[in-house]
Amino acid sequence: MNIGVFLPTGQDQWAPVGDPRDLIGFARRAEQLGFASLFVNDSLLTPRIEPLTMLAAVTPVTERIRLGTGALLPVLRRPVQTAQTLASVDQLSGGRLTVAVGAAFPGRFGRPLHELSQVPWERRFARLDETVALWRALWAGATEFHGEFHSFPELPPATRPFRPQGPPIWLGGATPAALARTGRRYDGWLPYPPDPADYATGLAAVRQAAREAGRAPEAVTPALFVNVRIDEDPEAARRTMDAYVRSNYGLPLEEVEHIQAIALGTPEQVAATLRRYTQAGARQVVARLGALELKGQYEQLERLADLVAPTVPTAPTAALVRPASR
């Protein structure tokens, strides 16, 4: 199992007593501690550092750690320009990029994004699939592209990614349609089901869809997005996570824990929760740390590293760079 973490790019995490440039030190420390990946998330509804800008900033100060989006919302960006940006980050990182994408959710977290982007809400999943197909065509050197939503009778030479096939593209989502699409079209799966049993059922559906599409089931990387808060006092962990999700979503923890995977409590309790997901089939775990300020994010990063030390790879000596002091 590979363990990764999310960079706390939300303004609520770094603004109160810090500086967004402190996120560079956070990225360095994550690599120093041996974490396998560093992810960023995406939104226009809460203030944050734009994800692809953030990845470009940490690319030259890291050497080994994989860089990822979880999940990038292609509807927020023009597709040809996004393909160029993703290929550029992949080149600059030496092929360390993984791109997890999503189509946004119904309600106040989905439709407003489409309205801000002046893109119809209807057929958003088909639009997402076609956008990914356009990226892959550009990276492969296509000179034209014709689809339902995007049509280019002539395409100029595109920026090529580090790897000829481009960065792996994962899908976030756990509806039956998303599971089928993941198995047929995508390189990985990054859901956050609140019940490990649902993860196991979903992964089985993804692999079955891959077989039916003539793909090897192992071609789809089974990953997990999970919210983590480690504290010796389980009630304190719960209170802090409640404040964190209210800040992110405007919802109490008792609602969010019915929607998203959450591992909180003592180190033993968090380890037990993560173990249930790995037993369900997850092989790459990306943890979003439940702390509102950057100091708390650093503390949780250290605690998670202590907890999962036997499972994270050891960072090469050359990559051990201490975070910049302020």
Q: What's residue 184's pLDDT?
A: 98
Residue 325 lies in a domain: no
Query: Which SS3 state, helix, strand or coil, does residue 71 take?
Result: strand
Structure tokens that stand for 171 in this block: 């899908």
Residues in Cβ contact with 20 at an 8 Å cutoff, skipping those fewer than 6 apart: 9, 14, 49
Residue 36 lies in a domain: yes
Residue 324 lies in a domain: no
pLDDT band for position 46 (cuts 50, 70, 90)? confident
The total of structural domains in the chain comes to 1
pLDDT in tens, 79-101: 999 999 999 999 999 999 999 99
What's the CATH number where 144 sits?
3.20.20.30
Residue 28 lies in a domain: yes
Residue-range definition of the domain harbouring residue 291: 2-319
Question: How many angstroms separate the first and last alpha carbons of the chain?
Answer: 34
pLDDT above 70 covers a percentage of the chain that reads 95
Closest CA to 292 of 6, 15, 5: 15
Query: Which SS3 state, helix, strand or coil, does residue 227 take?
Result: strand
Q: What's residue 321's pLDDT?
A: 31
Residue 58 lies in a domain: yes
pLDDT in tens, 191-205: 999 999 999 999 999
Q: What's residue 323's pLDDT?
A: 35
In one-letter notation, the amino acid at residue 115 is: E
Structure tokens that stand for 114 in this block: 């489409």
Residue 326 lies in a domain: no
What are the start-end ranges of the H helices in 213-282?
234-249, 253-256, 267-279
